[in-house]
Amino acid sequence: MKVVVKTFGAAFSVAVIPVLRDNYTYVIHDQATNAVAAVDVSADTAPVLDYVQRLSKSTKKGDAGEVRFSTILSTHRHVDHTGGNIALLKKLGSSGTFNIIGGVNDNIPGVTQTVREGDRVSLGALQVEVLDVPCHTRGHVLYKVYHPKSVGDGVALFTGDTLFVGGIGAFFEGDAALMCRAMRKVYDLHQGASDREAAEHRIFVFPGHEYTVNFLEFTRAAIPPTHPDAAFIASQLERYKESVAQCTPTVPSSLAEEKRQNLFLRTCDTSFVREMRHGDTAEALMQYLYDTCP
């Protein structure tokens, strides 16, 4: 698949780098300071090295100085998300301070700084907020990245193996109740925004894998054909299929899109739970969806 870059105004960019069979590593570039971070680094570091080196050559230094690779953010400990941490540090780590950051309850290779819910980390001029979402692993975290003075430029949410486009990750170390709590944190991420609907369109989800088409096929089959979002979901599925056919990543998606096309995230909506008729609670619907999703 191709490398694509999502820009967030003049504040920062996120490169979507396909690695291994269906994983993604992400490279965040703060435009103001040229600080660079990688998210979820597998042992397949060559595409990441290539991108960072090309970024360094093409970036105008100006007042921001040289491109500085300073941070690795690991969402969870699984080897396809952390297997390249130490190797990438050795190859790209600057002479200054270098951090490998991960959840306090996961054993992240090479970790130099453990984080938990509510912690904030700086990446140049960018802010990185941490959310605890134990379930896939007991120490899984999400990273919410934005420029504090340019929130209108958008928010990048790195979700690892908790939330995918149209789906969720396996309950390896949790259950439906824990996943429901994780989904609630994502669902309410726009809380505090003056215009919540607009905020949902500016929050972008960057998951750990390219599983989109499979999840959307499940969604199309599971949602009643008379549901108001059925046509939207069918259209999205065709769009995603076309992206895959062109070797283009389907990520990121917006929170607004996920609130329509991700049945697991929609367990946060009590009216949707009733419509689906698979139990009276979010946990019951979550378990049903999890058990029936191929």
What are the residues facing 6 on neighbouring strands? 14
Q: What is the DSSP letter of 262?
A: -
Contact 182, 227 (CB under 8 A): no
Q: Tell me: the pLDDT tens digits for 217-232?
A: 999 999 989 999 999 9
Predicted confidence (pLDDT) at residue 57 exceeds the cutoff of 90? no
Q: Is 76 a catalytic residue?
A: yes
**Sheet containing 141-146: order of strands:** 120-123, 126-132, 141-146, 155-160, 203-207, 253-254
Predicted confidence (pLDDT) at residue 26 exceeds the cutoff of 90? yes
Give the whole-angstrom CA distance, residue 212 versus residue 195.
28
Q: Is 136 a catalytic residue?
A: yes
Query: What is the DSSP track for 46-69?
Result: HHHHHHHHHHHHHS--GGG-S-EE
Which member of 140, 147, 161, 190 is catalytic?
161
Q: Is 147 a catalytic residue?
A: no
Q: DSSP H helical segments within 112-254, as ranges?
A: 176-187, 196-200, 212-222, 230-245
Which member of 29, 30, 40, 76 is catalytic?
76
Domains annotated for the chain, with CATH where assigned, are 4-209 (3.60.15.10)
Q: Is 29 a catalytic residue?
A: no
Q: What is the pTM of this model?
A: 0.96
Q: Is 190 a catalytic residue?
A: no
State mean pLDDT over 19-37: 96
pLDDT at 151: 83
Give the whole-angstrom CA distance, residue 140 versus residue 248.
27
Count of C-beta atoms within a 10 Å radius of residue 16? 22
Q: Tell me: the pLDDT tens digits for 77-119?
A: 999 999 999 998 888 765 567 899 999 999 999 999 999 999 9
The vertex-151 CA angle with 147 and 152, nearest 5°, equals 135
Which member of 29, 136, 147, 190 is catalytic?
136
Give the whole-angstrom CA distance, residue 29 versus residue 238.
31
Which member of 29, 40, 78, 147 is catalytic?
78
Q: Which of 144, 48, 52, 38 is nearest to 101 (CA)?
A: 38
Give the whole-angstrom CA distance, residue 271 versus residue 185.
18
Mean residue pLDDT of the chain comes to 94
Which member of 29, 81, 140, 190 is catalytic?
81
% of the chain exceeding 90 in pLDDT: 83
Which member of 80, 132, 140, 190 is catalytic?
80
Alpha carbon dihedral 261, 264, 265, 270, in 10-degree steps, equals 100
Sign of CA dihedral 80, 154, 53, 244: positive
Q: Tell me: the pLDDT tens digits for 156-205?
A: 999 999 999 999 999 999 999 999 999 999 999 977 766 788 889 999 99
Q: Is 78 a catalytic residue?
A: yes
State mean pLDDT over 58-84: 88
Q: Is 227 a catalytic residue?
A: no
Structure token digits, residue 78: 């699984």
Structure token digits, residue 117: 């819910």
pLDDT at 294: 87
